[in-house]
Amino acid sequence: PFFVDLGGIFDLGNAPRQNGPSRDGLAQYNVHSIAIQVPISTLLKAGAAAQPANILDSDYVIGIWASASRRAVRTIVDGSLAPEESGDWVQVSRLGMPLTNEAVIPIGMKDYWNSLTPYEELSDTLLDKYFYNPELALYMDDDLFGGAVPAFAALRIQRNSLQAFDFGNGHDGLYGLKGSAAVAGTALDDAVFGALLLPGPGLPRSVDLWPIFHTGVPNFPPYQLATGKNGNPLAAGKPFINNFLPNGGDMLRLNMAVPVTSRNDPQFSALGIVQAAVLGLTDPAYNSSADLQFIPNMDGFPNGRRLEDDVTRIELQAVAGIALAAVGLWYDDYTAGDANPLTQDLLDVLTYSTGVEANDALFKDSFPYLASPWRGTKAGEPN
């Protein structure tokens, strides 16, 4: 299930709505769901230990996706009660990361994206360009079309991060560091994952948006919180995510070793891993060292997807560069060397809201966790 203002989002990003209240376009609509509860032990890869080595154990990462297919030929026969179907099964839809096709892939390529499997995306890289230079980013850039979408005014891309790096569409991001001593020993080193993460100039979001959707994020510099980095975003910092699984493209990746944040925990947040990053950077319980420790909401989207997670808001924040900021590539109103990177631009992105922040019905505390369906005979009442 989703909660999202469909009318606003698809009306040129009018979320939150500028001329009236936002509306959950999916409220009181029921969803056919197949809920499966699976023991972690049955999902472990061959050779993995029965207990994780730590809460970000790479052997505990899984990737999940689903597809829908139909027969190639459907014939309506005169007088027959049902159509006749024949031919091969053809994939017509798929889903891994939520909203990939809706928010990232342009209209003319949506059917093509639906036809692929994540494994075909390893060699078929035609659609990668839409992650390297996302169309939505054009409406979060004052030098381009930012002024045309006032609802996104709080969301702005880093165009001069640390007075050195431009992540605007068509610019180089971190590519200027490729092959340099600055990236040696990091995930951006060609001897590590540099060929994937710095594939060429003019592809600025190859280091954040593309891996979030296509490989997952490794627990490896620079993909650690800025806590403990002493101002160098490429240095080792505080671990907060590891769902790296590069053997397929778009999948919902989950590290099963990460503990669960209780729904009764006062720090539970629908902002998922974004809120974990905030706590890891600002809360004295977590920012006093760069040691690995559980931070509430490390189990949140995009490390898996909890039912409560506000995936629409998180993905829009991701397009606006929130992941870059988390690792120390701060927004343009921060001057390198200043003590406090919690600037107005960062606060604007963190506090951005689409206007719809929760499901219209409460989720349950036990399996299958989904909310009760709405009655078909009386509007506004759950069964």
Which tokens is 28 given? 């009181």
pLDDT value, residue 377: 80
Which tokens is 270 given? 């629908």
CB-based contacts of 275: which residues, under 8 Å, 6+ apart?
A: 267, 269, 296, 297, 300
pLDDT value, residue 121: 96
pLDDT value, residue 381: 63
Per-residue pLDDT of the chain (383 residues; tens, 9 = 90+): 899 999 999 888 999 999 999 999 999 999 999 999 999 999 999 999 999 999 999 999 999 999 999 999 999 888 777 888 999 999 999 999 999 998 899 999 999 999 999 999 999 999 999 999 999 999 999 999 999 999 999 999 999 999 999 999 999 999 999 999 999 999 999 999 999 999 999 999 999 999 999 999 999 999 999 999 999 999 999 999 999 999 889 999 999 999 999 999 999 999 999 999 999 999 999 999 999 999 999 999 999 999 999 999 999 999 999 999 999 999 999 999 999 999 999 999 999 999 999 999 999 999 999 999 998 887 666 65
pLDDT value, residue 131: 98
Evaluate whether 276 touches 309 at the Cβ level (below 8 Å): no
Evaluate whether 300 touches 277 at the Cβ level (below 8 Å): no
Say how far apart CA 4 and CA 6 lie, in whole Å: 6
Evaluate whether 206 touches 198 at the Cβ level (below 8 Å): yes
Sequence ranges of the domains in the chain: 6-351
pTM greater than 0.75: yes
282 to 228, 277, 285, 328, 340: CA distances (angstroms): 12, 9, 9, 13, 10
Dihedral angle sign, alpha carbons of residues 55, 57, 62, 63:
positive
Residue 252: exposure state from Cβ atoms within 10 A (0-12, 13-18, ≥19): buried
Among candidates 346, 312, 305, 348, which has minimal Cα distance to 8?
A: 312
pLDDT value, residue 380: 64
CB-based contacts of 325: which residues, under 8 Å, 6+ apart?
A: 158, 331, 341, 346, 349
Among candidates 128, 110, 117, 65, which has minimal Cα distance to 90?
A: 117
Q: What is the 3-state secondary structure (H, E, C) of 2-22?
A: CCCCHHHHCCCCCCCCCCCCC
Say how far apart CA 141 and CA 157 lie, in whole Å: 6
The gap between the terminal CA atoms of the chain, to the nearest Å, is 17
Q: What is the dihedral of CA 188, 193, 196, 201, to 10 degrees?
A: 20
